[in-house]
Each structure stands twice: as structure tokens, then as C-alpha cells.
Amino acid sequence: MTGTSDLITSTDVFLTKDEVLNDYRIACESREVSITGRKDVFMGRANFGVFGDGKELAQIAMSKVFRKGDFRSGYYRDQTFLAAVGGLTWQQFFAQLYAHPDIAHDPFSAGRSMNAHYGNRWINDKGEWLNQTELYNTVSDVSSTAGQMPRSIGLAYASKLYRQNPDLAFLSNFSVNGNEVCFATIGDASTSQGMFFESINAAGVLQIPVIFSVWDDGYGISVPIEYQTTKSSISEALAGFQKKDDTNGIEIIVARAWNYPELIEAYQRAALYARDHHIPVLVHVIEVTQQLGHSTSGSHERYKSRERLTFEREFDCNLHFREWILSNDYANEEELKEIENKAKETAKKSRNAAWSAYRDSIKPDIESAMQLLKKAVAESKQTTELTKLTEELEHTENPVRREIISTVKKALVAMRFEEHQAKKAIITWLEKVTIENKERFNTHLLSEYPTSPMHVKGVAPEYDERSTSVDGREIINTYFDQLLAHEPRVFAIGEDVGKIGDVNQGFAGLQDKYGELRVTDTGIRETTIIGQGIGAAMRGLRPIVEIQYFDYIYYALATLTDDLASLRYRTAGGQLAPLIIRTRGHRLEGIWHSGSPMSAMLGCMRGIHVLVPRNFVQAAGFYNTILKGDDPALIIECLNGYRIKEKLPANLLDVCVPLGVPEVLKTGTDLTIVTYGSMCRIVMEAANQLEQVGIHVEVIDVQSLLPFDIHHRIVESIKKTNRVIFADEDVPGGASAFMMQQVLDEQQAYRWLDSAPKAVSAQAHRPAYASDGDYFSKPNAETIFEAAYEIMREVRPTDFPELY
């Protein structure tokens, strides 16, 4: 530490004694809770811990320019920042460490996220938005490295829209003239991720108020920076992005993590650029230390050199801050000792209070379970087994709900041949706690408020003498025209969406009519197109973002599944982003343009509605339904339907297609065929051919895959036909298998089947190119005809002899 004060120069930043000492208090408390939390993991009180040691000073400096209405899109080591802006108490810190599944104790995730994943609540218990301009806003953190970057583009882009579009002035609960800044934080190693580079580039192009803070501690777990970053410096690597006169780009600022006045000056400059001028900024915080190592999963002494460990001890930001305070006469040794001792006591009290509250929440379950088990011992013939189970639970140190439930279920297995009051009481208790645990752990995948799109009633299209038949592309173009005129919160972005109105003319002429802020071209950057939409949707806008072709959604899949799909769940209903992702697929030809990767969506998109309209009146109806609600949705338009004629309804802007409600396209008595999207036309063609040979099929369009047939209409069809085919153009075991599982398992349709159910899907490989490639890769009318014919031939071989 010799000579440290010589390295710190004076600054024009003026700070009061009270402010400096309060900053020191926060830094000391944050370090102490990190140390205490780490100990708790090793003691077995928590499963894992990741902490913010070494970043205390930089985060305090950042907090000084963070204003109400701003947003943090952050990194899971930002505990000091959250505490500095009043967004985190240390008892809440420990409650999340213990996974306390109560929103009153862990308001960030109700125990659903591991520790250090923060986020404030934006909506009330009716699902209505709170006033974001009065909140220090934090988007719920994600563990996937750099996953917080794409949405930061949208959070900042919303400020640009609020500042430049006067038609949004009425949304005063979301913005004050676009003065809000998004503070995005990230560890240096994670800047190697493509999401980071794409976000930096998008911010530089868009010129939006975002400040990227890179906490550079020289490592990514055990891998040093020379393996991570060109020139071993992200600020040097990004030097070409530096904004110059009359160019776009970003401002780049470098500050040392242990230098208090330098950090404060750096963030004051950054905030001036971002808030006042909407210029993005990179703040590269260098010489960050990490006193406790990466996490509780191992010691950093295994991979850091002796020299590096010495550096980390000597350049501990808290120690440097302490010496700076003393050398600048803000306090004396005795005053600082008092702060440090109180910080230790605060950490201890917070930890004890959180632990007691967590254990107290489990105590009623353990006490009632023990009481019921002991009663069962007295009444049951399985005394030995039940006594053993009871004693094991009684001697379990700090039992969790899993151990309680597991023991109770084992007891019921032991009493499976018995009937007595003790057993009945246990079953009643188990039913009650099952409901309680479902509420704790399985709720809020989608909106559970009155604002849910699931409550939107269907509105049928109406036709009159002016309802001419036009191409599908004209239907959707007319719809978007009416929508943009009616709803100022809606804007559309995507590749080729603006100037040419998208590759299929859905927005043709609408940029000229409504302006570039409403209908906007983007670069080829699917991940940040999605992120741009997520962030803007978080701020009260209703973006429609386009993935040009369905197959390209893989570029954005991590952002969709890790961030958007899990947002409402991981905040226990506290945050939302009602984004609409528009794309086109189905029956597109070629390996990379098949338009069919539905099974990936069904597996990854739980938390997002997946809608598959077969035509464009239906598509408009789904857009209307989603826009009336507060959930995100993926709407996949039929690529081969843009030039197919449809009647234009007189009430296009009012049409609503309810979610999870199939439509019967053709009635029949012999066989039910369940399908969706462009396959509807193929199945209908096959159904007409089958009718000519005496087979009458019932064709059902599911319309939406997530949610799926919420009223169980499909099983009612099967009760009539006793036979079923599930048809789609996904790979084997994909969407057709999903539909089969939903109907046979969930709806118990197997009870009414007289023939084996059949799934008709595409080949396992990517589809070959051109018409023949499509024909031999995906199901066609003949495929469907043959499958149905073979089922009926088994039933009535005389009527349906072998074909070939």
C-alpha cells in the first residue's frame, strides 16, 4: 500500500463528508455480506453464492448518476450498486441466497433465481403498470453471460422514441422527454460474447442513451484476459467505435476501480453524454480485484499467480478508498473503525434475520407433518417403517420442503393397503401443501392478471358488399396501416421492414406514411432486433419486431428463451415485456429456408405464446388479441399465403382470434386430422381426395400451439371419429408429437381410439431445395391421403383395398 495516495490526484468533484462516509459505509457493508454469504454456502445454508467483492467503489460511483426512471440491465455482481440506490436491503440479499420463496422476503424472484439476480417490480396486483419514472428500475438479471446486453438496446431505444416522437407524450408514466439512461453492466470476459459486440454496434448506429460498464478483473473464471480479448483490453479493442465529430459511434472512458474521484468523474462524463445528448458510452473499469474469487465453486488461488494475488490484496478498492478518506481529512481512524464495526454487525444481523425468517416459513410444514406422522405411527400397522421415517425427518438438520414432502409420500406408500383417519389426514395435508407449493414454484409463466390475452374474447370477421378478395399481403398491409394509425405505441422494426416495407410487402408504403420512427429498417442483427423489442416493450411500448424468415430465429434463440420467455416467471409476476415477434414460415423451400423449426420453439418458448395462423385474416386477429393483452407472442405467418386470395373484412382492426381455441375446417365421421399453418391447405386438399373414395375426415386447425386447445375440443372430435392423425411439417418427434401428447395424454383421448394414432411429419433431415425437394422432404397431399387410407383400410379392408 506504500505510495498509494501519490497515485490519486485531486479532482474538481466536490463531496461532503456525510456523502463520502455514507459511500464508505455501503462499501464496507457490501464486502461484509459477501464474506458472510460465502461462509453460509460453505456451512450448507445455501447451495451456491456469487458476490460483488472488488467492484464496490465503481458501483457506488455509477449510482451517483443513476436517476429515477433510469434502468439497469445488469450483471449478477451489482449488489453494491443496488444497495446504493435503495433497491436492495442486506436482509433481502440473504433471503435470496437462501432461496426464500416469498416475494415479501425476496422481492426480486421469490426464491426462483439464485443469489445476486435482482429486479424491481413494475406492476401492481392487477397487472397494471406502475409509474416507472418514480422508480429506480432494474431488469431481472439473467445468468447467461452477456444475456443482459440485447435488451439494453431496447431500454435505451425507448428513450430515443419518447424524445423524438411527440405522439408518445401521453405515456408520462414511462418517460420524461426521453431523459432516461440505460446502465448495462458486464464482466470483462463476457465481452467476448457475440451479444456484446452486436449490442455495441447497434448502440453506435442508433445513438441511444446507454452506458456500458465493463468490470475488468482480468479473468473469466480461470481464463486470463489474454485468452479473452484482443489487445487484452476491451476499450482498446473497441477504439474504432470511438465517436468523432459528425459521425456516429460511442464514447469510450477508462477509469481505475480503486480510484474514487476518477470513477465519479468518469460516470459524470458518461451520464452527460448519454442523458443529455443520447450518445452511447463504454466505461471500461480496469484494475478490478476479486478478493473472494469467482464464486463459491472454487478458490482463485488455484489459477492466479502469486503476483496477481498480491496485486488483488494491495489494490483492494475498499482499502484504497479508506486511505483516500484519511489522506483527504474526510474522517479519522476512529470514525472509520466505527463504520467498519457497524458494517460487520449489520451483515450479521441481516443474515440472522433472513435465516430466521426462512426457517420460520418452513416451520409450520415440518411441525404439522411431524404431528401427522406420529399419529400415523400410533394408528398404522406399519409402525417400524413409519417410526424410521419420522425419526429420520426429526433428526434432519434444517429440513427443506423437499425432504418433508418426500418423507410424507414414503409414509403413504407404506400405508397403501390401509384405511384410517391418520392416513386420510396426511392425504388432506398433502393436497393442501401441494397447492401452496404450486403457488410458490409453478406460477406466473404467463400473465395471471385480468390483463392476460387469454381473457380476450373472439371477434369474428364481418364482410359486406365492399369485402373484395385480395392477396394475403394486401390483407396484412391494410391491417398494419390501420393499426399504426390507431395505436401510437406500436412501431415495427426489422431487416428490410422500412424502405421496401418488408420482403413480402406487409409494411409497403407505411414508412412514408408514418415516418421512420414507426416503421424502421435495421441491420442484419437478429439478436439485438429481439433485444431492441424486449427493452422497448418493458417501457410501455408495443413493438412488432421481425425475424425475416422463421429459420433465422436461431440467431436470437438465447435471448428469446433465457430472457423474454422466463421474464415473468423469474420475477414471480413482477415484470413483463409484451413483445410481438413477427416472422414468416411454413412450406418455404430449402435447407436454411424451410420455415418449419417448430419443435425448437415448443421446447424453448414456454412463457411466449406461439401462434400459427393459416391465413392473414387470422394473423390480424392474433395481432389484435395479443395487443389487447400483456404477454409476448411469436406469430408465424404463412410464407406461401401472401399471394393467395382472401376476403378483406370490414372490421379488420376489431377481429380477435382467441388463444388456444382450435377451429374445425371440415366436419367428418371417419377420422380426425389435426394440423396448423400452411399444412391446413394440404390437409384440406387430401380431405377432398379422401371424400371421393368414401372417407370423411374432420379437419381441425389448432391455430395456436402455445397455448394448445384449452377447451379440449379435439378430444370431442375423436369421440365421434375414434381415429386421429396429427400432421405437420416439422421433423419427426416435433410438433406432431407435441400435439399427440397434448391430446392423448392431457386430454385422455386414447380412451376413445379404435385405431392407433398416427403422426405425419417431415423427414428427419433439413428439406431439400425447389419444388421436388419440398415434395420429397415434407408431407404433401398424397402423404396425408395414404396415412388416412391405411388407417381406414385396417378398419374396413373390403371397402379400402391395398393401393400399391
HEC string of 709-740?
CCCCHHHHHHHHHCCEEEECCCCCCCHHHHHH
**Please, what is the Cα angle at 29 between 27 and 31, to 5 degrees?**
70
Phi first, then psi: give them for residue 127, nearest 5 degrees.
Answer: 85, 10
Describe the chain by its helix, strand, coil percentages, rounded to 5: 45, 10, 40
Query: With contact defined as beta carbons under 8 Å apart, do 703 and 636 qualify?
Result: no
Orientation angle between helical segments 526-537 and 194-206, nearest 10 degrees: 70
Say how far apart CA 640 and CA 573 lie, in whole Å: 38
Q: Residues 800, 789: contact at Cβ < 8 Å?
A: yes
DSSP designation for 45:
S
Alpha carbon separation from 2 to 240, 290, 305, 329 (Å, rounded): 37, 21, 21, 18
* Amino acid letter, 759: A
Give residues with Cβ within 8 angstroms of 283, minimum separation 6.
62, 211, 212, 213, 214, 253, 254, 255, 266, 267, 270
**H/E segment holding residue 531:** helix 526-537
Is the separation of the CB atoms in 258 and 315 below 8 Å?
yes
| Cα–Cα nearest to 539, from 102, 122, 205, 164 | 122
Nearest to 503 by CA among 406, 639, 371: 639
Amino acid found at 162: Y
Give the strand pairing for 645-647 and 469-471.
Answer: antiparallel
Distances from the Cα of 708 to the Cα of 5, 121, 307, 459, 606, angstroms? 66, 30, 60, 19, 12
Are 477 and 507 a contacting pair, CB within 8 Å?
A: yes
Residues 6+ apart with CB under 8 A from 198: 149, 150, 525, 527, 528
Strand partners, 281: 211, 251
Q: Single out the residue of 702, 574, 628, 623 nearest to residue 454, CA to CA.
A: 628
What is the Cα–Cα distance from 292 to 276, expressed in whole angstroms? 38
Helix axes 56-63, 317-327, angle to 10 degrees: 70
**What's the rounded Cα separation, in Å, for the pair 375 and 434?**
21
Q: Which residue among the candidates 420, 593, 696, 712 is catalytic per the annotation?
A: 593
Catalytic, 593? Answer: yes
Give the pairing of strands 223-224 and 219-220.
antiparallel
**CA 377, CA 385: separation in Å to the nearest integer?**
9
Bridge-based pairing state of the strands 645-647 and 697-701: unpaired
As a whole number of angstroms, the distance between CA 259 and CA 243 comes to 26
Contact (CB, 8 A) for 444 and 572? yes
Alpha-carbon gap, residue 135 to 120, rounded angstroms: 8
Torsion angles phi and psi, residue 3, rounded to 5 = 80, 5
Instruction: Please work out, in degrees rounded to the nearest 5, the angle formed at the alpha carbon of residue 220 by the alpha carbons of 218 and 223.
Output: 85
Is the backbone peptide bond immediately before 453 cis, with ω within 30 degrees of 0? no
Could you give the angle at the alpha carbon of 676 between the alpha carbons of 602 and 503, nearest 5°?
A: 85
Size (the chain), residues: 804
Q: Which residues are catalytic?
A: 593
